[in-house]
């Protein structure tokens, strides 16, 4: 409400409801032609935003109210068509006065009807163009989706084949590893069995050698209780040394068997 009406000879003042020019260049041109504002034809839509047209140039049909308690609003398709001139005493004189100029009234109405029809045609063409653009975009998107679906359908068998080949390879590797583990287990069992047999033979030999032999006149010394090897005879000393070697070998074999059993037990727990 800060600016006066831009229509020449309109003296409605600055304190009456006014409306800015629309932002659409097409509708701005329609307003200019309807109000004969030739001096504004050279301006663009952004420059026309600083000009206003008061409510007296619009018809009642150009307004609507979204709710009974709300103030009325100007319709988007409204075009000012009334050329009104007023003075300070609200003495109104219109060119469209039906009682004074009935012929001019009908001519103006017909002209306005033609303008409205032209505006509707322009809006329809604009809407058709927008719809055509949207349909073109949707068609492009559909083509892109179809191409992507075709690519996916082509790639799926290849990916499935690669997955099957990889699964077969991993299965064969697991079977081979299982067979190797079984072979290693058998080898370890054989080693343990041989060591146990060897230990058993050594223990039997030690038992035989440690058994005292009865001679006709005297009993041989018990090698287990010998504390000084120097006091033995050469034959007894040689036997004593042999027994010592066998015991050491026996202890070493026991340690080896114990270690093999522990390794075997750990592998079984891991699997």
Please state the rounded mean pLDDT for residues 60-88. 78
Residue 70 phi, psi dihedral angles, 5° rounding: -90, 155
Task: Report the percentage of the chain scoring pLDDT > 70.
Answer: 77
* Contacts of 63-72 spanning 24+ positions with Cβ under 8 A: none
Encode pLDDT of 154-187 as tens digits: 888 888 888 889 888 988 888 888 888 888 888 8
pTM: 0.33
Beta strands in 110-268 (DSSP E): none
Which residues, 6 or more positions from 45, have their beta carbon under 8 angstroms from its beta carbon? 21, 22, 23, 24, 25, 28
Instruction: Identify the pLDDT of residue 94.
Output: 40
CA-to-CA dists, residue 126 to 24, 120, 123, angstroms: 12, 10, 5
How far is the C-alpha of 19 from the C-alpha of 5, rounded, in Å? 9
What integer pLDDT is reported at residue 219 of this predicted model? 47
On whether the CB atoms of residues 232 and 240 are closer than 8 A, the answer is yes
CA 4 to CA 18: how far, in whole Å? 8
Quote the crossing angle between the two packed helices 234-270 and 102-210, to the nearest 10°.
160
Report, as an integer, the average pLDDT of 119-138.
Answer: 79
Binned at pLDDT 50, 70 and 90, residue 57 comes out as very high
Contact 250, 242 (CB under 8 A): no
Range of lowest pLDDT (26-30, 91-95, 132-136, 266-270): 91-95
Q: What was the pLDDT predicted at 72?
A: 82
pLDDT recorded at residue 229: 63
Most confident of the ranges 93-102, 121-130, 231-240, 257-266: 257-266
Tell me what pLDDT residue 76 has. Answer: 87
Nearest to 80 by CA among 3, 6, 2: 6
What pLDDT, on a 0 to 100 scale, did the predictor assign at position 100? 35
**How high does pLDDT run on average in the chain?**
77
Q: pLDDT for 195-239, tens place per residue?
A: 888 888 887 777 776 665 554 444 445 545 555 666 777 887 788
Question: Do 82 and 104 form a contact (C-beta atoms < 8 A)?
Answer: no
* 5-35 confidence digits (pLDDT tens): 888 888 888 888 899 999 889 999 999 999 9
The residues with which 52 forms a beta bridge, in sequence order, are: 5, 20
| pLDDT at 95 > cutoff 60 | no
């Amino acid at each position: 409400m800060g600016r006066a009406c831009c229509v020449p000879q309109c003296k409605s003042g600055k304190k009456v409801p006014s409306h800015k020019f629309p932002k659409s260049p097409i509708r701005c041109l329609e307003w200019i032609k309807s109000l004969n504002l030739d001096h504004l034809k050279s301006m663009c839509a952004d420059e026309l935003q600083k000009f206003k047209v008061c409510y007296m140039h619009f018809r009642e049909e150009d307004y609507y109210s979204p709710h009974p308690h709300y103030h009325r609003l100007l319709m988007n398709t409204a075009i000012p068509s009334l050329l009104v001139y007023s003075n300070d005493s609200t003495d109104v004189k219109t060119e469209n006065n039906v009682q004074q100029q009935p012929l001019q009234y009908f001519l103006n109405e017909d002209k306005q009807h033609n303008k409205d029809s032209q505006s509707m045609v322009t809006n329809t063409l604009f809407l058709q163009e927008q719809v055509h653009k949207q349909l073109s975009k949707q068609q492009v998107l559909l083509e892109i989706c179809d191409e992507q679906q075709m690519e996916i359908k082509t790639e799926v068998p290849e990916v499935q084949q690669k997955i099957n080949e990889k699964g077969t390879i991993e299965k064969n590797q697991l079977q081979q590893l299982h067979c190797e583990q079984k072979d290693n287990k058998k080898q370890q069992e054989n080693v343990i069995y041989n060591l146990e047999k060897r230990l058993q033979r050594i223990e039997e030999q030690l038992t035989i050698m440690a058994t005292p032999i009865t001679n006709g006149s005297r009993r041989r010394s018990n090698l287990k209780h010998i504390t000084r090897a120097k006091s033995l005879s050469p034959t007894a000393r040689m036997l004593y040394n042999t027994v010592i070697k066998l015991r050491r070998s026996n202890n070493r074999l026991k340690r080896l068997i114990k270690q093999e059993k522990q390794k075997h037990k750990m592998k079984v727990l891991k699997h």
